[in-house]
Structure 1
Amino acid sequence: MSSLIGFIGFGAMACRMGANLRKAGYRIAAYTPSGKGGDGDVPFLPTPRALAQEADIVIACVPDDEALEQSMSGPDGALAGMKAGGLLINTSSVAPETSTALAAQGAAIGVTVLDAPVAGSTPEAESANLVVLVGGHAADVARAQPIFDAIGRLTIHAGPSGSGSKLKLVINGIMGATLAVVAEGVTYGLASGLERDMLFDALDAVPVISPHHKRKLKAAKAGDFSPQFPTRLMQKDMRLLMTDAARQMAPMPATAAATQSLSLTRRRYPNEDYSSLFAVMEDMVANDDTP
C-alpha cells in the first residue's frame, strides 16, 4: 500500500497540500483539535499520538509555536506516537529556536525532523506551486523530496535545522513590510485627491509593484479581504522576525514600523487577509476631518 501521511492541522493550506499528495498516490489522515478539516474524504484521528502511530510520515501545519508545542508534546502528543526512524515535517511558521528544539526532541527518540515552511498562499497550495523552505541535513531533505515535489514547484535547502524557519521569516517580513509601503502610497494618493479607481489601476500597471501585491491591490480595490493569508498569521510572523532580529542585533527599523501597522490591522481584522491593512489606512483618510 502507499505511504500514509498524517497531517496535524488540516486547515486551508494543509487540505490543499493533502489533495495534491493524494494525487501523487499517498494516503492521507489528519488530526485537528476540532476533529474537522477542509476535506470530508480524509479520516480524522482523536489525538496527535494516535495519528503518529498510524502514519508513515507526519506533517505539522499549525498556526503558531503554542499550537505546535501542544500537538507535539505530552502523553497524547505526536512525538509520543512516532517510531524510531520516522519522519516529521513541520511546515508551520514558527520561531527558529522552536524548530531547532523540535529537531533535538526528535533526534533523542530517533525521529528525523525537518522545518519546512512554505512560501505561497492558498492559490499556490491548490496548484502545487509552493516554494518549500527546508532546514535539516541534506540526506533527510532528499528523503522528503518526493513529498515536496508533490506540493511545490521548488525546494530550497536553506541549511541546518532552523534555517527553513529563518528564511520564511525573511520572506514574510519583506512581504509584510512592502505591503505596508504600498498601503501608505495609496493613503497619500487618496488624501491628496487622486481618483480611487485610477490610483489602484495605475499601481496595477507599473512594474514597481510585485505580482503578489498586485493581487492584494485588486482585492483591496474591490473591498474583498477573503483570507488567503490571515492578518493574525502575518502579524505573528512579523513579531517572530522582530524578536529574532533583536536577538541577532540586526537593525530592521522599516520592518518594525510595518509590524506596528499590521498589529493595528490584526486588532481590527484578525481573520481577514492581511491586505486589510489597505482598509485600515483608507478608513483613516476617509474619516479625517482635517480641512
Structure 2
Amino acid sequence: MSTTQTIGFIGFGAMASRMAANLVHIGYQAFAYTPSGKGGNGSVPFLKSAAEVAQKSDIVLVCVPDDEALAAAMYGPQGALAGMQANGLLLNTSSVSPEASAALLEAGRAKNVVVIDCPVSGSTPEAEAGNLVVLAGGDDAAMARAKPIFDCIGKATVHAGPSGSGTRLKLVINGIMGAGLAAVAEAIAYGLAAGLERNMLFDALDEVAVISPHHKRKIKAAKIGDFAPQFPSRLMQKDMRLLLDATARLAVPTPTLAAVTQQLSLGRRAAPESDYSALIGVMEQIVANDA
C-alpha cells in the first residue's frame, strides 16, 4: 500500500505504539502526543499538544486509558478537536464509557468532524502482529473511510452498528474476559488448596476445551510467574467498573459481574501495573499462606 496520508496518535502507550509501527510500515506518516510530552523516535516524532498533532494529521487516532484522559485529550484549546479540520476523521480506540463516547460524537458533529468509536479486542501480541479485532460504531460512509486503517491494525473489523455500538460491544467482551479469568483464578486456588500437584493442574487446564485460548495463554504465563502487562490490572478493573455502571443504568441484573469486579479490584490493589492475570498469582499466594 502507498499513501501520502498522515495519522496522528493521541496517546502512545503499549497498544498505540504497536499500531503506529504497523501503519508506518505500510507508508503512513505519523505524529504523536502524550500528556507527559516525552517519547518519540525517528519514525514517529512527538509534538507538544493534541491540537498540534491534529493540525498536522489527516486522521487522528486516540488511544487513552479512561474517560478522564479522553476528555483532557479531546477538549479545550489544546485538545485534538481544536486542531481538526472540517470533515476530519477521528478514530477513538479507547475503552471508555458509553457516555464519554456519545459526548465525543456530539462534540465532533459540532465541528463537522467524523468520529468512529472503535475500541479493539486483543492485547499487545495481537497489536504487534496486526491481528486485533476492531469493534466499530458508525455509519457506512465513515467505516469506508476508516477501512484502510482498520485493515492494517486488525485481522477483522466488526461493524457493531451505529455510533456508540463499538464502545458497548467492547464492554460486553471485556466483561466475559474478566469473568472467565476470575473463575480460572478461583478454581486454581481451590485445586492447590485441595492438594493437587501444581504443574499437573496448570498443564491439565491447557488440555481442556472449557477454557478459552486467551485464558489458556494466561494460565501458561501464570505457571511460570510471568505477569508482564499485556493488559494491566488497572485497566481491566476499570472496564469492569464501566460495565457495571452501564448495566445499572439499564437495570440489567449482573450479580456475577459485580462479584468479579470485586475480585479484579483485589488484583488491581495487589498489582496495578501487572497483567490482569496476576489475580491467579494473588489467589495462589492466599492459599499458600493458609497452607
- TM bracket, shorter-chain basis: over 0.9
Partner of 2:221: 219
31-40 vs 202-211, which deviates more?
Answer: 31-40
How many angstroms apart in 2 are the aligned matches of 1:72 and 1:161?
17
Q: Structure 1 residues 181 and 38 mapped into 2: Cα distance closer, same or farther (>3 Å)?
A: farther
| Residue 66 of structure 2: aligned partner | 64
Alignment of 1:189 with 2:191, yes or no, is yes
What is the CA–CA distance in structure 2 between the aligned matches of 1:40 and 1:180, rounded to whole Å?
41
Instruction: Tell me the distance in 2 between the aligned counterparts of 1:249 and 1:25.
Output: 47
CA distance in 2, matches of 1:101, 1:282: 42
> Alignment partner of 2:125: what SS?
helix
TM-score (norm: length of structure 2) = 0.97
TM-score of the pair, normalised by structure 1: 0.97
CA displacement, residues 98-135 of structure 1 (integer Å, 9 cap, x when unaligned) = 11110110001100000000000000000000000001
SS in structure 1 at match of 2:206: helix
- CA deviation after TM superposition for structure 1 residue 40, in Å: 5.0
Is residue 133 from structure 1 mapped to residue 153 from structure 2 by the alignment?
no
Per-residue CA deviation, residues 261-289 of structure 1 (Å, 9 max, x unaligned), is 00011011000000000011111101115
Q: How does 1:1-291 map to 2 (within 5 A)?
A: 2-37=4-39, 39=41, 41-288=43-290
Paired positions, count: 289
**RMSD (Å), alpha carbons:** 1.1
Q: CA deviation at 1:38?
A: 7.1
- Taking only the aligned residue pairs, the percentage that are identical comes to 67
Shift of 1:16: 0.5
| Unaligned runs of at least 5 residues, structure 2 | none
How much has 1:69 moved relative to structure 2? 0.2
Letter in structure 2 aligned against 1:252:
T
> Structure 2: which amino acid aligns with 1:74?
G
State the distance in 2 between where 1:38 and 1:279 align.
35
Give structure 1 regions of 4+ aligned residues with deviation exceeding 2 angstroms: 35-41
Answer whether contact 2:24 2:43 (CA < 8 A) is retained. no
